[in-house]
Amino acid sequence: MPNDYFNAETGIISPDDIRSAEVEALVDAGANMLVLPADVLAENAGTMPLIGQVLLEELDLIVDLRSKELRPNPESPDMPMIDVF
């Protein structure tokens, strides 16, 4: 799979050509890992991705139980612990 961010940084493609996708996912702070079903990667309808505790911690996100939303950590709202590409 091509790395669009690297290709844009090196001028192979335009930053406007970086591919992205928006999908609905299930967040489970009791699960450990991220699960991306193959049909999600192929952009087909099907099973829902699962976002677990490890990814939430790496992205420095917290689960707001009242609003049922993910939010940036208020102690570091502008900078996650790592960048994911």
What is the model's pLDDT at position 12? 92
Helices (H) and strands (E) in the chain, counts: 3, 4
CA neighbours closer than 13 Å in the CB half-sphere of residue 49: 19
3-state SS, residue 51: strand
The label of the residue with tokens 């406007």 reads 16
- Span 16-59, pLDDT tens digits: 998 887 777 788 877 777 777 776 666 666 677 888 888 888 88
The label of the residue with tokens 């996650």 reads 80
From residue 49, alpha-carbon distances to 10, 13, 30, 45 in Å are 31, 28, 15, 11
Domain boundaries defined on the chain: 24-85
